[in-house]
């Protein structure tokens, strides 16, 4: 199977390229304080990430209410407050994971197109990437609100293949969670997972990615680049 022939890469954002938990934790606790709900810790925030912002907020509220019913009014207020707070704190305390910049620079040097495929809303995804001077590396950003469906649906990867005019099996998904693996499998794309990301209590092995990476730099040990351009 290895090396895998690759003509393009699709990177997840949170937990793969950048550790965004610090900013999300601050925004989440500011939101919860305003709603008179108990605060959460990093681990609780991390457990809610991956399936999009609406899921993140609702899961946080459910966690704080310990399974009690959540009203639509409370969710609406929480959504509004969190978005306001996160917009103010975004990229303040987040950090780019070691090896990421080197990896992106090497891919650019090899003229391999890369995309960011994230469930984060586009406003926050692009602002996060731009804050760390990473947006310049990406041919496109497909966010949680870019298309009718998001990961784990294969739509973002299918759309990317059409956009780049590259066969799906030559687009490598790099992520950190089961959401990324499911999206890639449904699309028919290979998928690698980073070991340092947000995958909760589940083991990466249980998601069955093709390769588990300790650093994005390790990508180059498992692929053969086929340049279509």
pTM over 0.85, yes/no:
yes
Lowest mean pLDDT: which of 8-17, 144-153, 195-204? 195-204
Work out the mean pLDDT of the chain and round it to a whole number: 93
- In angstroms and rounded to an integer, the radius of gyration of the C-alpha atoms of the chain is 18
Residue 114's pLDDT is what?
98
Positions of CATH 1.10.150.240 in the chain: 21-89
Residue 229's pLDDT is what?
55
The answer to whether the beta carbons of residues 114 and 16 sit under 8 Å apart is: no
The percentage of the chain sitting over the pLDDT mark of 70, rounded to a whole number, equals: 97
Cis peptide bond N-terminal to 3, omega within 30: yes
Lowest mean pLDDT: which of 56-65, 167-176, 187-196? 56-65
Helix (H, G, I), strand (E, B) or coil at 203: coil
| Fold assignment, 21-89 | DNA polymerase; domain 1 (1.10.150)
- The C-alpha atoms of residue 163 and residue 74 are separated, in whole angstroms, by 39
Angstrom distances, CA of residue 5 to CA of 97, 112, 120, 220 = 25, 12, 28, 11
Q: Does residue 189 register a pLDDT over 80? A: yes
Positions of CATH 3.40.50.1000 in the chain: 4-19+95-225
5, 12, 19, 54: which one is catalytic? 12
Tell me whether residue 176 is one of the annotated catalytic residues: no
DSSP class of residue 186 equals H
- Is CATH 3.40.50.1000 the classification given to domain 4-19+95-225? yes
The answer to whether the beta carbons of residues 190 and 173 sit under 8 Å apart is: yes
The continuous run of DSSP H or E covering 2 comes out as none
Q: Tokens 């406003």, residue?
A: 123
Q: Does residue 7 register a pLDDT over 90? A: yes
For 56-97, the pLDDT digits (tens) are: 999 899 888 887 788 889 999 999 999 999 999 999 999 999
Q: Which residues of 23-48 are buried (b: 16+ CB within 10 A; e: fewer)?
A: bbbbbbbbbbeeeebeebeeeebbbb
For 11-60, the pLDDT digits (tens) are: 999 999 999 999 999 999 999 999 999 999 998 898 888 788 888 999 89
């Amino acid at each position: 199977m290895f090396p895998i022939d690759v003509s393009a890469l699709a990177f997840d954002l949170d937990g793969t390229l950048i550790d965004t938990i610090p900013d999300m934790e601050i925004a989440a606790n500011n939101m919860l304080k305003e709603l008179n709900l108990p605060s959460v810790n990093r681990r609780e925030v991390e457990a809610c990430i991956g399936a999009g912002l609406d899921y993140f907020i609702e899961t946080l509220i459910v966690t704080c209410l310990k399974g009690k019913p959540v009203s639509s009014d409370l969710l609406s207020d929480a959504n509004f407050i969190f978005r306001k707070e996160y917009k103010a704190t975004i990229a303040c305390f987040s950090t780019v994971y070691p090896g990421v910049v080197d990896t992106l620079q090497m891919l650019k040097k090899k003229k391999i197109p890369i995309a960011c495929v994230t469930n984060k809303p586009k406003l926050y995804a692009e602002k996060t990437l731009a804050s760390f001077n990473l947006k310049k590396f990406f041919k496109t950003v497909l966010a949680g609100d870019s298309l009718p469906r998001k990961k784990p649906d294969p739509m973002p990867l299918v759309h990317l293949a059409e956009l780049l005019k590259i066969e799906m099996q030559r687009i490598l998904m790099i992520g950190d969670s089961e959401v990324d693996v499911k999206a890639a499998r449904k699309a028919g794309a290979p998928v690698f997972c980073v070991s340092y990301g947000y995958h909760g209590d589940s083991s990466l092995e249980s998601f069955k990615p093709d390769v588990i990476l300790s650093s994005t730099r390790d990508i180059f040990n498992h692929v053969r680049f086929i340049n279509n351009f």
